[in-house]
Chains A and B, each alone.
Chain A
Amino acid sequence: MIRWKRIFHYRPGDTELNEELQTHLRMGIAERVERGESPEKARKAVLREFGNLLLVEEVTREQWGSRSLEAFGRDFRYALRQLRRHPAFAMTAVVMLALGIGANTAVFTVFQQVVLQNLPASHPHRLVLLSQDSASHEGSWSTWGDEKLYFSYPAYVALRDGNRTLDGLAASAFSPVNLATKESAEKGIAEYVTGNYFGVLGIRPVLGRLIEPADDRLHAGNSIAVLSDSYWQSQFGGDPSILDRIIRINGQTFTIVGVVRYHGLTNEYVPSLFVPISMQNAVMAGRDGDRDRLTDPLFYWITLIGRLKSETTQETAEQELNSIWLDWHRSQIPLLHHGAKFQKEWLQTKLSLRDGSRGLRFLENSLGDPLRVLFWMVGIVLAIACGNVANLLLIKASSRRRELAVRHALGAGQWQLCRQALMEGLLLGVLGSAGGLFFGTIALPVILGMIPQTNVLKTALSQHLDWRVLVFAMSLGLATSIVFSLSPALASMRTDPLLALHSASRAVMDRGSSLHGFLVACEIALSLVLLVSAGCVALTLYRLRTVNLGFTTGHCVTFMVDASALGKQIPQVRNEYESIDSALRRIPGVRSVSYSAMDLLSGEENGGDITVQGFAESGPPVFPDRDWITPNFLPTLQIPLLAGRNFSAQDSETSQKVAIVDEAFVRHYFGGNIQAALDGQMAQGGNNPKPDIQIVGVVPSIHAISLSHDADGPMIYLPYAQSWNNHRSHPASFYIRSAANPNQLAVAIRAAVLQVDKDLPIIGLGTMQEKVDDSIFQQRLMAMLACIMAGLALLMSTVGLYGVLSYAVAQRTREIGIRIALGASRKSVSLLIFRRLFLLVGGGLLAGVPLTWMSTRILASIAKLTGNTGWLFPASGMLMLLVCGLAGLLPTRRAASVDPTQALRAE
C-alpha cells in the first residue's frame, strides 16, 4: 500500500523522505549558526557538504526496491505523452492494429467454438469415444460423419454390460425431425440418448429432470423429451411453465420433462431436444422399412461415449473392451446367416478409445480447413499492420533522432531509451487490442445477422465473448507490440549521439530508410498473396453460384408446411395440401404451383436401397435419392422431360405405381439406354422384393441436395399421390412460379395458407434464389471475409508505402533543392521519387509471386478451388501497381514542387 503511494503520489519536496533530509539540513545549519557562522554562510556550507539533494533522495528511495515500478510508471507517462503529441500517428497505428487484432480475434472466436470447446460435462478429460476398425462392410450405416465411430445397438448393450473399466457407457444418435407444438412447427434435430447418457456426462438440468435409465426400456420407453436450452429460448422464450406440455415429434406426442443447457455430443448439429433412444422406432417409424435399429446387429447408427474410471488407464480399458468386443462378434456368427468370407471379415475387428472431451468433432472436419485458411489470412493482415506500425515508429524515431541523441548525451542509458521505445509499442499494442475487441463487438452482430437461421454457425457464434478470446486478443496485442517496436528500439540503441548532433546525418538515415523500404516491400508481397488468394476463393464461389442447377430458380418462391407433424390423419393432411395447392393457384399472377416431399437444396439426402429388375449390383451399394412430387413439379421448376411422360392426375393411390428417373439413374442401372429404362421396373427396398414400380419418364440430373453436391447421384421421382400409404411423415415443400413481386406474393401466400388451416405453420418462406444463397452461405462468408482481408491488406500496404515515400521526400528535400538549383527539371525529380516507388513495389511483387504461387497451391488442395486462376496473378499485380502508383502521386508532386531557396535555407 505504502509502496503504491510512493509511486503514484510522489511529488518532489512532498514526501517523508524529503522532510527527513530537510531536517538534516536544518540541524546542520543550526549547529553552524550556534558556532557563530552567519546563517547564509552556514546554509551554503551545509548544502555543499550534503551534495546533490535530489540524487541522495533518489538513491535512498531506490533502497525500497520500488524504482523499477516507478521507472515503469515514468516510462508509461512518457509513452502516453508521446502518443498525445502525435495524435495522427497514434490514431493510424491504433486503428491498423485494431483491424489486425480484431480480425484475428473474430476468427479465433469461431475457432475456439469449433475446435477448442470442451463438452460442458464434469471432468471432460475422462470421457472416451469408442471407435472400431472392422474389415467387414456388411450392413447398414446411418452416419453423420466418421463411420468408424458408429456401432449397432446390440453391440452397445454387450459393451455396456460387460465392462468393468468404465463408469458408464452411453450411446447417442441424431436425426432431423419435424417438431410441432400448439404454437409453432419447424424442422429440428433430435438426439436419441440412452437412459444413462446424462449421468455418464455429468450434466444437470436447468429445469425439470433429465432422461433417466427408467425412461429407456427397449421397445417400451417413455414418451418424454428434454429440450435444449437454445430451443427452449428461441421457441418458448424461456417459459418456465413448459414442463408437462406436449410436443409432437414427427407427429408422435411427447411430454416435455426438462430443459438442459447442453448442445449435444457434436457441435455440428445443435439438437432441439433429447429423447430416449428406445423411442427411436416411434420417431423414425417406417424409415428403415421392416428393419429394427434397436435389435439389428448390422445396423450401425449410434456413437458410444464412456467415462474412464479414475483408477483405470486408457490401455486397460481398451484391452478389456476389445475382449468383450471379440466375444460378442463370435457370439453373433450363428445368428447371422452369412458366408465364410463374411465370417472371416466379421472377426477382423479392433476397438480403440479416442479422446471424448470435446465430443464428436464433426464440425472440425467441415470447417477446420476454411478456418485454417482464414487464420493464415488474418495472420498476414496482422503482419502487414505490424510492418506498418514499425515503419511509422521508425520514421517517428528518426525525426526525434536529435532529441534522442541529446538525451543520450545527457546520460540516459541505452537500455532506458530502448525501454521507452518498447513501452510506447506496448501501449500501442494494448490500445490496439482494446480497439480490436471493440471492432469485434461491432462486427459480430453484423456477421451474425448474415448467417441463415439454419446454419450451425448461428448457434456457435451466439455465445458470449469468453475469457479465452479476451486473453487471446490481449496477448496478441502484446506479442505484436514487441515485434513492431523491436526494430525502433534497437535503432534507438544504435544512435550515435555525435553523428546525430552534427547534422541531420543523412548517412545514418539511408540505412534506416532501406529498412523502411524492406518492410514496405514485404507488405506488398504479402498483399499480393492475399489478393490472389481472395480472388481464387471469390472465383470459386462465383462458379458455384453460376453452376447449372438443372432447374430454374428465378421467379420462384418456396415454403414448407407439415400438417402430418401436427398429428393429423392422412386424409386430412391430403385434403389440406390439395386445398393449399388450389388456393395458391388462385393468387393473381401465379403461373404454376407444385409441391414435393423433399426440400430442394436443404442438404438433406433421402436415399434408400432399391431393386431394379434385371440388374445386379457389382460395385459398392448405391442408394438413389427419392422425392415425391406432384405432376406440376417438373413444369414449375422448368425441368425438361427427356423421354416418356410426366405424372398426371391419373397416377393415384390405386393406379399402377410409377416413377420418373434421372439420367444418372439410367446410366447406372441401364447403361445409358433410355428406351430400356422406360421399359424397366423397380421396387423400393433391397433383398429383391417383387418389382412393382413402372418407370415412365426420364429427366436430366439436377442439383437437388446442394450446389456443391455432385449432380451425378441417381435420383428417383415418385408421385406424391402414391406416397400416402408408405409413411407417416408427410412434409410438403411448395414451389410457386410467378412474375409477381416476391414480397407481395409472400403476403398472398400466407393469407392463402391461413385460409386453409389457420394453425398450420409456414416454414422458410422465401425465393429460391435466397435458398440458393443460404445453401452456400459458408462459401459466401468465406469469400466475403477473404475479400475483406485482401482489401485491408491492400489498404494498409498502400498507407505504408505512402508514409515511406513521404518520409523519403521530406528527407531529401535539401538534395532535391540542390538538384533543382543546379538545373534539374521537375520531371526528372518526379522520376527520382517514382523510381524508388517502382523499386519498392516491383521488388515486393517479384518476391510475392513465388509466395503467392505456393499459397494458391495450398489453398487449392484444402479449399477445393476450381477452374483456371492463372490470370489472377497479372490482374492482381496490375491492381497493386495502380493503387501504389496513386499512393505515390502526392509525395512525388510534393517533391517536384520543392522550392530550392527554401529547401536550402531550412538547414
Chain B
Amino acid sequence: MRRKEPYQNRIELLQGTLDMLILQTLQWGPQHGYGICQALRANSGDVLQVETGSLYPALHRLERQKWVSAEWKQTDSNQRAKFYRITSTGKKQLSSDQHRWEQMVEVIARIMQAIPEGEGS
C-alpha cells in the first residue's frame, strides 16, 4: 500500500500560496504544466523548485474550482499538451489572494521587526 501522508503535508504547507503563484504565472497566457514549472523556477531566479507532486494536484484543484480552464493543444515543438488558462473567476481569486498575501506579509514583517518591550528598555 502506498503512503501518501508526506505529500499531503507538503501540499498543505504551500496550499493557497502555490495556487496564487500558478494563477499569477497564467496571467501571461495559457501554459502547460511543464511550462508553469519552468516559469516559476525562472521567475524565482532558480530558487523555487516546485515539486510535480504539488503542482499537478494544485492545477487539478484549480481546474475543479473553475479558476483555470484546460484544453489539449499542440505546443511549438509539435507535442500534444494540456494547456491551462486562467478564467475570469480565477482572476478575481488571484487579486483577492494577492491582497491577502500582501496583508499577511505586512503583518508578519511587523511582528518580525517589532522590538520586544523587555529588550528595548
Contacts and interface: CB of A to CB of B under 8 A. Distances in A.
Interface in B76-104: 77, 79-82
Given A26-B79, A27-B81, A52-B53, A64 B3 contact: no
A23 B79 contact: yes
A60 B57 contact: yes
A857 interface: no
Given A23-B82, A411-B1, A55 B53 contact: yes
B60 interface: yes
A54 B2 contact: yes
Interface residues of B, number: 26
Contact of B60 (A51, A60, A407, A416): A60
A20 B64 contact: no
Contacts of A60: 56-57, 59-60
Nearest to B75: A27
Closest 7 CB pairs of A and B: A27-B34, A63-B60, A411-B1, A60-B56, A63-B61, A412-B1, A60-B57
21 contacts: A16-B82, A17-B60, A23-B82, A24-B37, A24-B52, A24-B56, A27-B34, A27-B75, A56-B52, A56-B53, A56-B56, A58-B4, A59-B56, A62-B57, A63-B57, A63-B61, A65-B64, A410-B1, A411-B1, A411-B2, A416-B1
A63 B64 contact: yes
Contacts of A24: 32-34, 37, 52, 56
A379 interface: no
Contacts of B56: 17, 20-21, 24, 56, 59-60
B106 interface: no
B79 A27 contact: yes
Interface of B: 1-4, 7-8, 11, 32-34, 37, 51-53, 56-57, 59-61, 64, 75, 77, 79-82
Interface of A: 16-17, 19-21, 23-24, 26-28, 30, 49-52, 54-56, 58-65, 407, 410-412, 416
A59 B53 contact: yes
B7 A55 contact: yes
Contacts of A56: 7, 52-53, 56-57
A26 to B, nearest CB: 7
Contacts of A49: 52
B92 to A, nearest CB: 21
Given A60-B57, A63-B61, A411 B34 contact: no
Most chain A Cβ neighbours within 10 Å, of B59, B75, B79, B82: B82
Contacts of A52: 2, 53
B38 to A, nearest CB: 8
A23 B75 CA distance: 11
B32 A58 contact: no
Most chain A Cβ neighbours within 10 Å, of B33, B56, B59, B75: B56
A51 B34 contact: no
B79 A50 contact: no
Contact of A20 (B3, B75, B77, B82): B82
A23 B4 contact: no
A62 B53 CA distance: 12
Given A63-B60, A63-B64, A58 B2 contact: yes
A407 B7 CA distance: 21
Given A52-B53, A59-B53, A60-B57, A20 B1 contact: no
A59 B1 CA distance: 14
Most chain B Cβ neighbours within 10 Å, of A17, A27, A411: A27
Nearest to A30: B77
A73 B80 CA distance: 32
Contact of B51 (A27, A51, A63): A51
Contacts of A54: 2
Contacts of A412: 1
Most chain B Cβ neighbours within 10 Å, of A55, A60, A410, A412: A60
Contacts of B64: 63-65
Contacts of A17: 56, 60
A65 B64 CA distance: 9
Most chain A Cβ neighbours within 10 Å, of B52, B64, B75, B80: B52
B109 to A, nearest CB: 32
Most chain B Cβ neighbours within 10 Å, of A21, A24, A49, A62: A24
Contacts of B75: 27
B71 to A, nearest CB: 12
Contacts of B77: 30
A54 B2 CA distance: 9
A59 B11 contact: yes
Contacts of A16: 82
Given A23-B33, A49-B52, 10 more contacts: A21-B33, A23-B32, A24-B34, A24-B37, A27-B79, A50-B52, A56-B56, A59-B7, A407-B1, A411-B2
Most chain B Cβ neighbours within 10 Å, of A21, A54, A416: A21
Contacts of B3: 411
A3 to B, nearest CB: 10
A62 B4 CA distance: 11
Contacts of B80: 19, 23
Contacts of B79: 23, 26-27
Contacts of A20: 33, 56, 81-82
Contacts of A55: 2, 4, 7, 53
A10 to B, nearest CB: 15
B76 to A, nearest CB: 11
A52 B10 CA distance: 15
Nearest to B81: A23
Nearest to A50: B52
A721 to B, nearest CB: 95
Contacts of B61: 63
A28 B57 contact: no
A412 B4 CA distance: 11
A17 B1 CA distance: 21
A61 to B, nearest CB: 8
A420 to B, nearest CB: 12
A891 to B, nearest CB: 37
Contacts of A28: 34
A16 B80 CA distance: 11
A601 to B, nearest CB: 72
B27 to A, nearest CB: 21
A30 B35 CA distance: 13
B30 to A, nearest CB: 14
Contacts of A26: 79
A76 B7 CA distance: 27
A49 B55 CA distance: 13
A421 to B, nearest CB: 16
Nearest to B34: A27
A345 B54 CA distance: 89
Contacts of A19: 80, 82
A58 B75 CA distance: 26
A28 B8 CA distance: 24
A411 B3 CA distance: 6
Nearest to A21: B56
Nearest to B51: A51
A329 B54 CA distance: 88
Nearest to B61: A63
A371 B67 CA distance: 62
Contact of A59 (B4, B32, B37, B81): B4
A7 to B, nearest CB: 16
Most chain B Cβ neighbours within 10 Å, of A20, A30, A51, A412: A20
B120 to A, nearest CB: 47
A702 B76 CA distance: 108
A781 B80 CA distance: 75
A699 B16 CA distance: 101
A407 B1 CA distance: 7
Most chain B Cβ neighbours within 10 Å, of A23, A50, A65: A23
A30 B76 CA distance: 13
A243 to B, nearest CB: 65
Contacts of B4: 55, 58-59
B23 to A, nearest CB: 16
A63 B53 CA distance: 12
